[in-house]
Structure 1
Amino acid sequence: MLNRVAVLSDIHGVLPALEAVLAEPDASVADRIVLTGDITAGPQPAQVLDLLTSLGDRVAWISGNADRELLEYRRGQRDSIPDPIAPWAAQQLREDHLELLGALPRSLSLSVRGLGKVLFCHATPRDDEEVVLVDSSLDRWAEVFSGLDADVRAVVCGHTHMPFVRLAHGRLVINPGSVGMPYGRSGAHWATLGPGAELRHTDFDIEAAVAQVSRDSSYPDIEQWSDYFLHARATDADALAAFGPRDGRRQTE
């Protein structure tokens, strides 16, 4: 059983945000660092993967939909990706990066002190693109939890870049938010588990990070990309408006 777990989700290839979180004392001493997907689709994909792999067995990896899409694009299994930066990011990856992404599981379970059996996934336990939100209905949560073993007492998911902790049908649900592409508030969002669940926020020098990313990345629209996402120009209201219809709710809700 693990005493302390750091959860990092949706890094999206932003190296300075990742470095800021890894420098946090609670991240540096965690028994395990769990990555809940969407690790690479962003301006510094190779650098992010190289840093994470250097941490060795402390890191537990899960694939996100964006990681899957990059791999499919490079393997010729698709000819486009909706995210404009993703095709460029896919071309930056070495063969060893592709092999790593191809071997990642869609979910994993760990036993964490104070929480019991915790299932980690990217979007939901059954799908890497499905949307659930802090205000999704209990009927919706029952639907996405269908098929889970009864002994799973907590579920950790990412995908929507919006941090929350809530109960749903007796299970604790934790979304750590996004390390590299936050919505609503700038800085890196992550979480710690054990014995409870705590949402974490790491401030770092956003202007310096924008300058670093813009300098180091060859993505053609990098200045616009880094300004928009590192400053969290998309509000939480914007994100909820975009994601809400995808969680099955009625339009009148």
Structure 2
Amino acid sequence: MPRPSRVAVLSDIHGVLPALEAVLAEPEVAAAERIVITGDIATGPQPAEVLDLLTDLGDRALLIGGNADRELVELRVGQTSRGGQSPAPPDAITAWASGRLRDDQIALLAGLPRTRCLPVAGLGDVLFCHATPRDDEEVVLVDSRLTRWTEVFEGLGEHIRTVVCGHTHMPFVRLAHSRQVINPGSVGMPYGRPGAHWALLGPGVELRVTHFDIDAAIARLTAESGYPDIGEWADYFLHARASDAEALTAFGPRDGRTAAVVSPL
């Protein structure tokens, strides 16, 4: 595969079409040689529309499956891909979104790889994944301890010096055992601050945020999505009502650091 000089990375779109459209309209995204989508693509208020828009991009868009994408498929086929016979009870919007996807879209999600490696100018071989290189729902954070990174990097080739992940909806760049780790944040469900978050790779790393008219987007989702609680859902997630501190508190125990109270995040 040719080594692209500019790669746009979008993660955790979660079926929010207005946010995705705003990012794709950015000149540097429009000009990027590749657009990598690092999972949790469709679970949200406009699942079919988001997948249609991404597939219309053709070969420029490289899609990776996330845990939410896997769960949509499991709901439709009635069993998990992790050894169980029945998927866990879904949250309301996951169940709703699963029923809104066409069979060809379910097949698309079912066939998505969990990781992709792409050479990027200035960065070498970059490993893209949803949560960690070994699992689609494992949690790592900006302040995860180095022993945790040792665990999640186990088996990763030494030639991979940059890892791009998503899943936690909070952007960061850090070094861990001399590898650069990038989380672009979330396009459709940001924690900490509003806006559609993404990253631009090559030859360096730039974290970006696209600001769009949130109230207009909420009005559009309310008009176009049939999800019953769309107004409340869109207000909470598009306005980023969950702070970064709340999200870190909720996710922290899942990277093995301490026990904590149950959180809705």
Question: TM-score scaled by structure 1?
Answer: 0.98
Count the aligned residue pairs: 252
**Which range is displaced more, 129-138 or 242-251?**
242-251
1:153 to 157, 161, 164: 161
- 2-11 or 79-88, which deviates more: 79-88
Equivalent residue, structure 2, for 1:208: 216
**Residue 47 of structure 2, aligned match among 45, 62, 84:** 45
Tell me what 1:96 maps to.
104
In 2, the alpha carbon distance for the partners of 1:113 and 1:53 equals 25
Match of 2:8 among 6, 13, 18: 6
Give 1:239 deviation, angstroms.
0.3
Runs of 4+ with >6 A deviation:
none
- Any stretches of 5+ residues in structure 2 without a counterpart? 80-85, 261-265
SS in 1 for 2:156: coil
Q: Secondary structure at the match of 1:85?
A: helix
| Map of 2:207 onto structure 1 | 199
> Which of 193, 206, 226 is the equivalent residue of 1:185?
193
In 2, the alpha carbon distance for the partners of 1:169 and 1:80 equals 35
Residues 81 and 53 from structure 1, CA distance in 2 versus in 1: closer, same or farther, beyond 3 angstroms?
farther
Partner residue, 2:171: 163
Measured in 2, the distance between the counterparts of 1:125 and 1:108 equals 9
Distance change in 2, residues 1:179/1:81 (3 Å): farther
Shift of 1:240: 0.4
**Displacement, 1:79?**
4.8
What's 2:32 paired with? Answer: 30
1:110, distance to aligned residue in structure 2 (A): 0.4
Change (3 A) 1:73 1:135: same
Aligned residue type for 1:235: S
Q: Secondary structure at the match of 1:33?
A: strand
Instruction: Quickly say closer, same or farther: Cα 1:197–1:66, change in 2 above 3 A.
Output: same
Question: Which amino acid letter does the alignment assign opposite residue 171 of structure 2?
Answer: P
1:69–1:81 CA contact under 8 A, matched in 2: no
2:252 is aligned with 1:244: yes
- What's 1:67 paired with? 69
SS at match of 1:199: strand
1:250 Cα shift? 3.3
Counting only pairs closer than 5 Å after superposition, residues 109-188 of structure 1 correspond to structure 2 as 109-188=117-196
Counterpart residue identity of residue 220, structure 1: P
For the 8 Å contact 2:71–2:87, the answer to whether it is kept is no
Q: Distance in 1 between matches of 2:198 and 2:125?
A: 20
TM-score normalised by the chain length of structure 2: 0.93
Q: Distance in 2 between matches of 1:220 and 1:62?
A: 28
Per the alignment, in what secondary structure is the counterpart of residue 212 of structure 1? helix
Who is 2:19 aligned against?
Answer: 17
Asked if the contact 1:140–1:247 (Cα under 8 Å) also holds between the matched residues in 2, the reply is yes
Check the 8 A contact 1:9/1:178 in 2, yes or no: yes
Unpaired runs of 5+ residues, structure 1, are none
C-alpha displacement at 1:84, in angstroms?
A: 2.3
2:70 partner letter: R
Measure how far apart 1:70 and its partner are: 0.3
Alignment of 1:55 onto 2:57: yes
